[in-house]
Amino acid sequence: MQGERTLYTRTFLTMSLANFFTTSSFGCFFLFPLFVSHLGGSKLDIGIVMGVFSLSSVLSRPWISSMIDRIGRKKSYTLGCAIMTALPLSYLLFHQDLSRAYPALLFARILHGIGLAFCFTSAFTYMADIIPETRLNEGMAMFGITGLSGMAIGPAIAELIIQHAGFVPFFLAASALGALGFILHLQIPESHFEHSPMSSSSFFSVFFRPKTLKVSLLAFLFGYALAASGGFVSPYAKEKDLAFISIYYLSYSGMAVLTRFVGGRLADRLGELRIIPYAMLLTGAGLLLLCFLGGETILVISGIMSGLGHGFLFPCLTAVALRDEPIAIRGKVTGAFTGSMDAGAFFGSILLGYIGERAGFPALFLTAGLSLFLGLFFFKLLYRAR
């Protein structure tokens, strides 16, 4: 791969736009806890329903990652987009009490999580194939803008639709966004990848390498913290009778997007390992601020702080995971890294839901924020020599 190869090609931009739509579809479901509450679910039910989505992504990641290295990135993304289009329509069937629909709803969430795992893992592996090595942080950061924008636009669209039209149009809109991602990505070629003896390496042989394990631990703690913002901000704000819940996601994603315009080049110049500690501090502090939620101002400030940290943290961790990795195993490396984030999100959804049920939302966000300070401790310990 040539270090000075053009970054912003038509393929890069098309895949980025497809990612925007599929992530917008996913982002709509940040407000899915409102549907669970509508069906009579508790905070713990929200944690379980949101967490099983992440669990399915975790458990499916080994064979999804191997499939991405075996059949190609684009074909894997096609399958993921098809699921992301179809699954929101299945929620139209759930309009009875949650206790009666629980098993079927959990099954739908499992399939939905598998679809996102296909999209997420194959998209980042695809981009790692086409981004010049010397601009890896910049490329991943700019590609990540589409995902962050989707995670801002999705909840805003969802909230407006739910407030004015209800849950049926909400699910139809989420499906339509997934369909747009499906249609767009059909125009791109398969990225170059090679079959070599390394292609037959098992997922777990790649996962248990020291380099992969270290970055996966940090990704796990990051995912645990993200479970709080993804699954519990909306019911917390509703409990506080705040009028505009999605302002948090707009602030969060808006700041993360702005950060990407300078953060990627800065990280390529200074090195991602210098940036990560500050990003962890900011993200964790933003979550801790939610312990004092009393109005929209706290939502905005918390979103700005955590979004700023996230804007640096995710592409830097991605670069640490993928830099200098052979192309034949990038699907497995991406799967290990993103799967660890999903594992953190799953355990975070369950444990934070339990904490919220027992001790309230402030204790929930305190635990979530402290997880990133724990990540900072492990980072200093594991990367001390570098």
Q: What is the pLDDT of residue 286?
A: 95
pLDDT, mean of residues 179-196: 83
**Which of the 8 DSSP states describes residue 246?**
T
Cα pseudo-dihedral 21, 86, 105, 20, rounded to 10: -10
The reply to whether 195 falls in a domain is no
Check if the beta carbon of residue 130 is closer than 8 Å to that of residue 304: no
Using the predicted structure, report yes or no on whether residue 2 has a pLDDT greater than 60: no
Q: Decide if 77 is inside a domain.
A: yes
Average pLDDT score over the chain: 87
- Reported as a pLDDT band with limits 50, 70 and 90, residue 119 is very high
Residue 2 lies in a domain: no
Residues constituting the chain: 386
Nearest Cα neighbor of 221 from 39, 380, 379 is 379
φ, ψ of residue 95 to 5 degrees: the values are: -135, 15
Q: Indicate the pLDDT class of residue 193, thresholds 50, 70 and 90.
A: low
Give the whole-angstrom CA distance, residue 378 versus residue 386: 13
Indicate whether 312 belongs to any domain: yes
CATH code where residue 244 lies: 1.20.1250.20
- pLDDT score at 202: 82
Residues 74-100: tens digit of each pLDDT: 999 999 999 999 999 999 988 777 777
Give residue 128's pLDDT.
Answer: 86
The reply to whether 196 falls in a domain is no
194 located within any domain? no
Which of 129-133, 209-213, 346-350 tops mean pLDDT? Answer: 209-213
* Mean pLDDT along residues 123-145: 86
pLDDT of residue 367: 95
User: Cα–Cα distance between 359 and 183 in angstroms, integer?
Assistant: 46
Look at residue 361 and tell me if it is in a domain. Answer: yes
Cα–Cα dist 207/201, whole Å? 10
Assessment of whether the complete model's pTM goes beyond 0.85: no
Is 1 inside any structural domain? no
Q: Is the pLDDT of residue 156 over 90?
A: no
Q: What is the mean pLDDT of residues 259-286?
A: 87
Number of domains in the chain: 1
Which residues neighbour 103 within 8 Å (Cβ) at sequence distance 6 or greater? Answer: none
Please, are residues 51 and 350 in contact by the beta-carbon 8 Å criterion? yes
- The pLDDT value given to residue 303: 92
* 20/242: higher pLDDT: 20
pLDDT at 1: 39
Tell me which DSSP letter residue 313 carries.
H
pLDDT, position 269 = 83
Domain of 358, in residue numbers: 10-188+201-382
Give the mean model confidence (pLDDT) for residues 288-307. 91
